[in-house]
Amino acid sequence: MARWGRSTRASTERGRSAAVKLLNARGAASESLVERFHREMSVAASLDAPNIVRVFEVSKPDAPVPYIAMELLRGSDLASRLRKEPRLPLDELAVMVDQVARGLEVARARGVVHRDLKPHNLFLHDNALWKILDFGVAKVMDSEGTLTGEGIVGTPQYMAPEQASGGHVTHLADVYALGAIAYRCLTGRSPFKGKDLAELVYQVVHTPPIRPSMLGIPPALDDVLAVAMAKDPRRRFPSAQSFAQAFVAARRGNQPLVLEVPPSAWTG
């Protein structure tokens, strides 16, 4: 099996402070895991944007212990924040959605899908800048803009239906995940809760979540989240940026676009 070891602070050859993570790879499959590690970390290293954690250095393929040196961050991730405060203030959430969408747009331009966007992977650096972490399960889209194979990867509570069912995955899966995270931050609860993994995945694929406005959220945001979290990816916003623009506009009381809300988007 493979997993991250502890993270330590170090300096790169250029004198930059960095967080260094070591990969523990053991067992018969360790060689293939190390190859996968280098392939996927090279994807992360190719993304240079303020809202994506910077990768300074990746170990050479023949290094005794694989490692990655990343930008040293100060602050905490969204999951830690939500454990203290069940809901995020709407103004702050609008900033987070906008900044994370900017990072996702850079990834999309490079043909990269994150595939595991969740509160643990969103970090507020210096109390000012949201950054996307862990492109470790990211993949590069093919010429048709889709991803297939390699099983189901991601976190079910924020996983797009097509991803949960093992289907074709595009950048629209990241749009869905950002919408699901916004839903969680607004309502104080995950969109879906099952007694086990099978029930949870079934709900993600087939069951509409509770309408946000029934949980104390401004009704203007219902339609925006319904489009972002549409079961059918073709009904979602075409990009994270367009979702963020609609979210911010609805927060301000503006509705410049006519949104085509999917039928039966919500329960209630």
In the chain, the domains with their CATH numbers are 2-71 (3.30.200.20), 75-251 (1.10.510.10)
- Active-site amino acid positions: 116
What pLDDT score was predicted for residue 17? Answer: 79
Count other C-beta atoms under 10 Å from residue 86's C-beta: 11
Please say whether the beta carbons of 174 and 240 come within 8 A. Answer: yes
What pLDDT score was predicted for residue 142? Answer: 45
Q: Tell me the whole-structure pTM to 2 decimals.
A: 0.86
What pLDDT score was predicted for residue 143? Answer: 40
Query: Count of residues for the chain?
Result: 268
Task: Give the model confidence (pLDDT) of 197-229 as tens digits.
Answer: 899 999 999 999 999 999 989 999 999 999 999
What pLDDT score was predicted for residue 190? Answer: 94
- CA distances from residue 234 to 100, 175, 245 in whole angstroms, order as listed: 21, 11, 18
All residue ranges of the chain with pLDDT < 50 are 1-2, 27-29, 141-151
What pLDDT score was predicted for residue 56? Answer: 86
Q: Distance between CA 100 and CA 244 in Å, rounded?
A: 9
